[in-house]
């Protein structure tokens, strides 16, 4: 299986990349980003790209892949709806449309978030909801991942300092969250493994909360 990862330098993307490099069923991993990731591995290749609305310059690099694991995203805090829509909706759909045209049958796994709702009151929920709806309309092999609390594992850290503090505090509480709120809590490892599972064999559901993510990951 050959996979493309967007957002591999982010917290979730780091976890997804780790699981891809560890999985013997994955023979090649391509990361797309403004800067290369720090990891080095024989099956890993980086392509630097700055215009996430247009992939015409690198289309030849994007052929021959089985799945896209799309982990690119930003916080809506302090952003206008137009700016958030551009990053969350426009960039995601541009990637999906290009990759599906170049790779018919490709699986597109998208990291969304718990609370996503096209008709929701929160701006981010509406934008992500529309993104999910249009991805699901593009292909039957689209899967929406809606984690709530995500515990980073294996030394993975958020690039945002306040989040690093939050996750450090939350680490000892994770087992409690997982037991009391199974639809809310998951880990970077479980998201990565679950994404690879849907890429390989699909899933019964196309919108996956943390409980479904953990079940797919076998965790």
* Residue 125, domain CATH: 3.40.50.720
Q: What is the pLDDT of residue 160?
A: 60
Contact 51, 42 (CB under 8 A): no
Q: What is the pLDDT of residue 171?
A: 67
pLDDT tens digits, residue range 182-206? Answer: 767 899 999 999 999 999 999 999 9
Q: What is the pLDDT of residue 164?
A: 58
pLDDT tens digits, residue range 60-97? Answer: 999 999 999 999 999 898 999 999 999 999 999 999 99
pTM: 0.92
- From residue 179, alpha-carbon distances to 210, 211, 219 in Å are 12, 11, 12
Total number of domains in the chain: 1
Cα angle value 15/113/139 (rounded, 5°): 90
Q: What is the span of the domain harbouring residue 20?
A: 2-217
Q: Find the mean pLDDT for residues 123-151.
A: 96
R_g of the chain, CA atoms, integer Å: 16
Q: Which residues contact 206 (CB under 8 A, 6 or more apart)?
A: 136, 142, 143, 144
Alpha helix positions (H), the chain: 11-22, 81-85, 91-102, 123-138, 161-170, 174-180, 188-201, 210-217
Q: What is the pLDDT of residue 139?
A: 97
């Amino acid at each position: 299986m050959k996979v493309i990862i967007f957002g591999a330098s982010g917290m979730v993307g780091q976890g997804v990349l780790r699981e891809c490099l560890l999985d013997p069923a994955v023979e090649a991993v391509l990361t797309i980003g403004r800067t290369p990731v720090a990891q080095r591995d024989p099956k890993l290749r980086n392509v630097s790209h700055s215009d996430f609305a247009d992939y015409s310059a690198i289309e030849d690099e994007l052929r021959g892949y089985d799945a896209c694991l799309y982990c690119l995203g930003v916080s809506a805090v302090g952003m206008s709806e137009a700016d958030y829509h551009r990053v969350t909706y426009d960039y995601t759909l541009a990637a999906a449309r290009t990759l599906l045209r170049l790779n018919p049958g490709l699986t597109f796994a998208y990291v969304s978030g718990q609370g996503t709702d096209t008709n929701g009151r929160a701006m981010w929920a509406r934008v992500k909801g529309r993104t999910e709806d249009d991805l699901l309309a593009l292909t039957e092999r689209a899967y929406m991942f809606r984690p709530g609390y995500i515990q980073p594992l294996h030394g993975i850290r958020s690039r945002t300092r306040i989040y690093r503090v939050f996750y450090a505090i939350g680490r000892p509480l994770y087992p409690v969250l997982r037991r009391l709120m199974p639809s809310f809590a998951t880990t970077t490892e479980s998201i990565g493994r679950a994404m690879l599972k849907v890429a390989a064999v699909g899933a019964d559901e196309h919108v996956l909360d943390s409980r479904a993510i953990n079940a797919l990951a076998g965790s």
